[in-house]
Amino acid sequence: MSTTAVGIDIGGTGIKGAIVDIATGELLTDRMKLATPDGGKPDDILDTVLALFDQLGEIGEATPVGVCFPAIIINGCTMSAANVSKKWIGLDAEKLFEAKLGRSIHFVNDADAAGVAEARYGAARDAKGLTILTTLGTGIGSAMLFDGELIPNSELGHLELDGHDAESLASTSAKEKEDLSWKDWAKRLQRYYEHLELLFSPDLILVGGGISKSSEEFLPLLELRTPIKPATLRNNAGIVGAAELASR
């Protein structure tokens, strides 16, 4: 296993990257960030990732590179597209990134990468049984891990809840769009996490995304059987998880 790797995290609004110490999960460079191009089209995102990669400095040919992306990933292909162009659907994205960067990469769903990072370095380290990470943001991303091993492409933000995608009701963007109080938003989170408990009986639930910085405002309002706590790697989780997976 390599001791360092590059992680790149592609989101609907920003593309971030850094070189990561695989032993500790710490960033060895500043976290670089460029805006996601309007429309999120494949060629535009590929060009932006290359520009960000170049900003990281000289990277050895043997250094692993991981890229995470907001889509279901099957054999390197993007089978969905969240907050980016629908032109990604059905693309052999891993090969496109390899051609653009001129090297082999590991391509993975963004929430799955965050889950791996939390299991290796963060709030789910040494956790036994089933851990479910939910990332609350523009939508709801998810990662499922059993004894630290990833079960990929869970997409639990798209579970139907009261006739709607769960993320349309309980995401951070839903809270902001409807100007919900913490109390009113917590009622929706309660409904959502109760549904996850009913379906999966997890041993631990983690809450990630930028809103996790304010977890003391809403987590105490939830009443669940399952322990629920904030993720710890926050906005670095996708970078760190993509790098760690690439290093294996």
pLDDT band at 129 (very low <50, low <70, confident <90, very high): very high
235: pLDDT strictly greater than 90: no
Q: Is 237 exposed, middle or buried (0-12, 13-18, 19+ CB in 10 A)?
A: buried
pLDDT band at 215 (very low <50, low <70, confident <90, very high): very high
Residue 195 confidence (pLDDT) = 98
Locus of tokens 């990669």: 53
Neighbouring residues of 46: CB distance < 8 A, sequence distance ≥ 6: 96, 97, 100
List Cβ<8 Å contacts ≥24 apart for 36-44.
36/10, 36/11, 36/12, 36/84, 39/85, 40/12, 40/81, 40/83, 40/84, 40/85, 40/88, 41/84, 41/85, 41/87, 42/85, 42/87, 42/88, 42/91, 42/93, 42/96
The CATH number assigned to the domain with range 4-112+236-247 reads 3.30.420.40
Do 126-232 and 4-112+236-247 have the same topology in CATH?
A: yes
Domain layout of the chain by residue ranges? 4-112+236-247, 126-232
Q: Tell me the C-alpha distance between 77 and 52, whole Å.
A: 22
Cα 188 to Cα 136, 150, 166, 206, 227, distances in angstroms = 12, 27, 9, 16, 18
Q: Among candidates 202, 214, 204, which has minimal Cα distance to 118?
A: 204
Average pLDDT over residues 152-162: 95
Neighbouring residues of 220: CB distance < 8 A, sequence distance ≥ 6: none
Q: Tell me the C-alpha distance between 100 and 46, whole Å.
A: 7
Domain 126-232 sits in CATH 3.30.420.40: yes
- Plot region of 40 (φ>0 → left; ψ -120 to 50 → alpha; else → beta): left
Stated as kind and residue range, the H or E segment containing 192 is helix 182-200
Residue 2 confidence (pLDDT) = 75
The 10s digit of each residue's pLDDT in 174-184 is 999 999 999 99
The answer to whether the CB of 196 falls within 8 A of the CB of 202 is yes
The CA-to-CA distance between both ends of the chain, in Å, stands at 6
45: pLDDT strictly greater than 80: yes
Q: Among candidates 140, 139, 130, 143, which has minimal Cα distance to 241?
A: 143
Q: Tell me the C-alpha distance between 73 and 244, whole Å.
A: 17
Locus of tokens 């036994």: 128
pTM of the predicted protein model: 0.94
Residue 1 confidence (pLDDT) = 65
Dihedral sign from CA coordinates of 168, 170, 174, 180: positive
Q: Average pLDDT of the chain?
A: 96
138: pLDDT strictly greater than 90: no
